[in-house]
Amino acid sequence: MDKKFSIKDIAYIGMAVALIETCKMALAFLPNIELTSLWLVMFTLLMGWKALIIVPIFVAIEASLYGPHVWVIMYLYVWPLLIILSHTFRKNTNVLFWALLSGFFGLFFGALCTPAQVIFFTKPDTFNAALKAGFAWWVAGIPYDVVHAIGNFSIMLVLYTPIQFAVNKLETISH
Amino acid sequence: MEKKTRNLLIGLGAFVALIVIALIVFNMYKPQSQPATAAETEIAAEETATADEQTAEDVADDEQADDDQNADDIKNIVIEVKDSEGNVTSYEVTTDAEFLRQAMDEAEGLTYDGSDSEYGMMVEVVNGEQAIYSEDNAYWAFYVNGEYGNYGIDSQPVTDGDTYSIVYEAAN
């Protein structure tokens, strides 16, 4: 794959960010039910490493909409992790595999965000207190992590095949 | 069974198992409205004893109050201050205060200071001893009859016969 961003890549990035934002807003009333994971996986399978650029753009839009806070730091390392994982396993075509990957990612989302929470709120000499607060923060979010896991798993299970079909078609048309 | 399928089924099992484990962890450590660490429980136990003694006095007081209808708004309370060295100073206050802050103002010999926050005053100095979390890694904790207080001094209601403890607590 070419290392430079082509016009097609830029168009894909635009599509990805627009889809992620639209789906996020449309599903905002359901806590932790999201299509962001699905789209990031799908665009990674389509674009490879170049999909990493989607994250900072989407985070910049989110930050300008909701105001930046510690979640910006979390997003900037948690979402790229999903892209790295997806790219590593890109040759896999089993629906259940992708549903599981997405589900595990949802389940560990809170745990993955906790280090940033701890580091952000720690002060000199109070690292232990921040660690305890971080643990409590993660535990308090577990029900949402479980919802996230089940949501991600089900969404990927249902949508992987049709979207892969559409993506493949997109690739054929654009060549 | 094909190896790939088997691995995926193991993965699915692990996924379900982890969800269950996560929910168990949540149930074990879930946030409680009245957190109690070992140190707090100790204080609570001490203060329950004090509170029990008080209940006897309380009944006597109540009987008196029944005789004297004018005493409706007058409350007899105890404010205790436990400093960083564990020394306890008690103040018996007779007050018509609605909230703790006014009762603290009326307690003779008790001094305090703090900073104003959206929840009322955040007490930082009591009887000249400072406990600011970010500077001293300690704070002034409030207990009502040995139970961890849920309110600041501006919103803590004063009830006849109660013991209000202001305790210097070091963060771990």
Q: Which residues of chain A have pLDDT under 70?
A: 1-2, 174-175
Q: Is A46 helix (H, G, I), strand (E, B) or coil?
A: helix
Structurally, how many domains does chain A consist of? Answer: 1
Phi, psi of B117, deg, nearest 5: -130, 180
The answer to whether B18 contacts A107, with C-beta atoms less than 8 Å apart, is: yes
d(CA B17, CA A44): 28
Over chain B, what is the mean pLDDT? 79
Chain A positions in Cβ-Cβ contact with residue B137 (cut-off 8 Å) = 125-126, 129
Q: What is the pLDDT of residue B74?
A: 85
- Residue B126 belongs to domain spanning: 38-170
Chain B positions in Cβ-Cβ contact with residue A128 (cut-off 8 Å) = 172
Summarize pLDDT for B81-102 with one digit per residue, the tens. 999 888 888 999 988 888 899 8
Contact status of B32 with chain A (Cβ, < 8 Å): no
User: What strands lie across the sheet with B112-117, from one edge to the other?
Assistant: B112-117, B120-126, B129-130
Please tell me whether residues B66 and B124 are part of one structural domain: yes
The answer to whether B25 contacts A139, with C-beta atoms less than 8 Å apart, is: yes
Please tell me whether residues B21 and B64 are part of one structural domain: no
Phi, psi of B150, deg, nearest 5: -100, -5
Please tell me whether residues B44 and B21 are part of one structural domain: no
Query: Residue B96's domain is classified under what CATH number?
Result: 2.170.130.30
Please tell me whether residues B26 and B109 are part of one structural domain: no
Q: Residue A126's closest chain B neighbor by CA?
A: B137
Q: Are residues A138 and A114 in contact, defined by beta-carbon separation less than 8 angstroms?
A: yes
Q: Are residues B117 and B135 in contact, defined by beta-carbon separation less than 8 angstroms?
A: no
User: At A114, which helix (H) or strand (E)?
Assistant: helix A95-121
- Residue A144 belongs to domain spanning: 7-174
Note whether residue A2 is domain-resident. no
A74 exposure class (CB count in 10 Å sphere: 0-12, 13-18, 19+): buried
Q: Are residues A40 and A86 in contact, defined by beta-carbon separation less than 8 angstroms?
A: yes
Summarize pLDDT for A13-45 with one digit per residue, the tens. 999 999 999 999 999 899 889 999 999 999 999
The answer to whether ipTM exceeds 0.90 is no
